[in-house]
Chains A and B, each alone.
Chain A
Amino acid sequence: MTGVAAGAALAEASGLALGYGGRRVLDGLSFALPSAGVVGLSGPNGSGKSTFLKACLGLLPPLAGSLRVLGEDASSRRFRRALSRVAWAPQTRPPGQLPLEVREAVLMGRLGLSGFGARFDPAARRADRRAADRALETAGLGHLVGRRVAELSGGQYQRVLIARALAREAELLLLDEPSAHLDAEGREGVVRLVSALANGQGASLVLATHDPELLALCDVVLEFAAGSCRLLPGPASVSGVTS
């Protein structure tokens, strides 16, 4: 897993407007996010952090302007191929009635990386399994492999979501509020994991969060407010936390 090539922009917005059903949540955004280090997305609830992440995943076409992610136009059909280089850990509730084992949940991160025939190829399946196991170890979940997802605590479930994103071995990792709604113990485990990812040599990291401890890991912060945003130097660029 390697990050975006040095010098290339992680994401570039130009006159970007985003919203739902014609209603603009964000408007007139223009910036270039550097590829190096950790990018934080901050701002109050409803300020557009998750909306921006969805646009980065091609889930939300721009209402105006353009957004390029990893050099590709996020609203183009070709962007689907670029999505194999992006992994996302969204804010998702635990699956209520769906029977799901921890390894199954993490293996989901490998979907779409190889062709349909690969699922019948034992070597490809082993490779996927190894990637999932590596991600589980990184997330400190190796001992929970055979457990049901529904039996996990909030913190463990959040780390499963991050492990699923890690299993994708992508260049760009998008984490949406990874420490939100967790108890102290769960939050501590997630902060420890995200800190390890930020300090490692892995994927470029974009982190939407309110958590001051996570924001402290960021080299730059895109601060959202009142339908717009501004790019600020992050605490880590000053203190050298992630370098």
Chain B
Amino acid sequence: MMELLELAPVRRALAALFVTGAAFPSLGVFILALELVPARFAVMHASLLGAALGLLAGVDPLPPALLAAVLAGFGAAKLSERGSASAGGPLGLFMVASLALAFIVFHKADVNAIEAFDLFWGSVLALSPSDLGLVVAGGVAIVVPVVLFLPELRAVLFDRVLARTFGIPAAFIHYALVSLVCLGIALAMRVTGALMVDAVTILPALAARSLGKGLGATLAWGAVFGVLANFAGFALAVVLDLPTSPAIIVVGVLLVAGTALYARLALRRA
């Protein structure tokens, strides 16, 4: 195990796993609170379109994919503002439209679709130094506002209209929060791959909700479970020669089941 640490990709992977484990479960808590679970699929498709346009322009596809994710966040925020984010209909339309445009770009501009789809098959061991820089920047962009503005975030998540009466710029915070969630999803895709993005967002958040009664405690437990699942999953992958992201998911699912069982037993004892 120790000799693995001498490899730069492994060191980068561990750094990325620590950052995503500590910071990204906050996004899972917000996704659940805002009922934005379907919106993250829209973000994945929008990111693909962004990557396709980036390849068309001859630039690194990651930054345009991240930009597209933020724009998708604005769209999702607009829909959730009207209370329809969980309805799925408008988001489904948004998803297929993004996908259709991406394929039109692939076809007409002769862009190599595989390169764009690389974004979907992200792997923590394939992170470049610049990818890691983006992940760390994303982690800081999540943690700092959450720590500084937790009371405001709590109020906006509770009731945006009520939050306005406290003098809070509720609409701005709502849009910023949803955009941050979408940006985080796009970054997490790079680390775990799109299909396993829940490993670093939703699963630790679900485990945390079984133990944390309030928002602050849930966010803190989410960070603990995120780091635990990432490192334990990585170790499991190395020891048993498994792919990393699925191993992290297995540990995450076990944590969700374990904490749910603990919460149920605690409730029975109370």
Contact = CB atoms under 8 A, between A and B. Distances in A.
Interface of A: 54, 57-59, 80, 83-84, 86, 88, 90, 92, 95-101, 103-105, 107-108, 111-112, 119, 146-148
Given A59-B161, A97-B35, A104 B216 contact: yes
Given A95-B158, A111-B151, A101 B164 contact: no
Top 5 nearest A-B pairs (CB, nearest first) are A101-B214, A112-B166, A111-B166, A112-B167, A99-B218
B31 to A, nearest CB: 9
Contacts, number: 77
A133 to B, nearest CB: 16
Nearest to A111: B166
A92 B166 CA distance: 16
Contacts of B162: 88, 90, 92
Interface string B151-170: 11011011101111111100
Contacts of A84: 167
B213 A108 contact: no
B144 interface: no
20 contacts: A57-B165, A59-B164, A80-B167, A83-B167, A84-B167, A90-B161, A92-B158, A92-B162, A96-B35, A97-B32, A97-B35, A98-B33, A99-B29, A99-B218, A104-B154, A105-B158, A108-B166, A111-B163, A111-B166, A111-B167
B165 A86 contact: yes
A57 to B, nearest CB: 5
Given A97-B35, A99-B213, A108 B161 contact: no
A147 B270 CA distance: 12
A119 B166 CA distance: 15
Given A98-B33, A98-B158, A100-B158, A83 B165 contact: yes
Interface residues of B, number: 28
A60 to B, nearest CB: 10
Nearest to B151: A111
Nearest to B214: A101
B158 A88 contact: no
B167 A104 contact: no
Consensus secondary structure, chain B interface: helix
Interface of B: 29, 32-35, 151-152, 154-155, 157-159, 161-168, 209, 212-218
Nearest to A88: B165
A97 B165 contact: no
A99 B214 contact: yes
A148 B213 contact: yes
A104 B215 CA distance: 8
Contact of A98 (B163, B167, B215, B217): B215
A86 B167 CA distance: 12
A95 B142 CA distance: 23
A108 B165 contact: no
Contact of A108 (B32, B154, B167): B154
A111 B212 contact: no
A57 B162 CA distance: 10
Nearest to B215: A99
A241 to B, nearest CB: 29
Contacts of A104: 154, 214-216
A121 B218 CA distance: 23
A65 to B, nearest CB: 22
B32 A146 contact: no
Contacts of B214: 99-101, 103-104, 148
Nearest to B162: A90
Given A83-B166, A99-B215, 17 more contacts: A54-B161, A58-B165, A59-B161, A90-B159, A95-B157, A97-B32, A97-B34, A99-B33, A100-B158, A101-B213, A111-B155, A111-B167, A112-B166, A112-B167, A112-B168, A147-B213, A148-B213
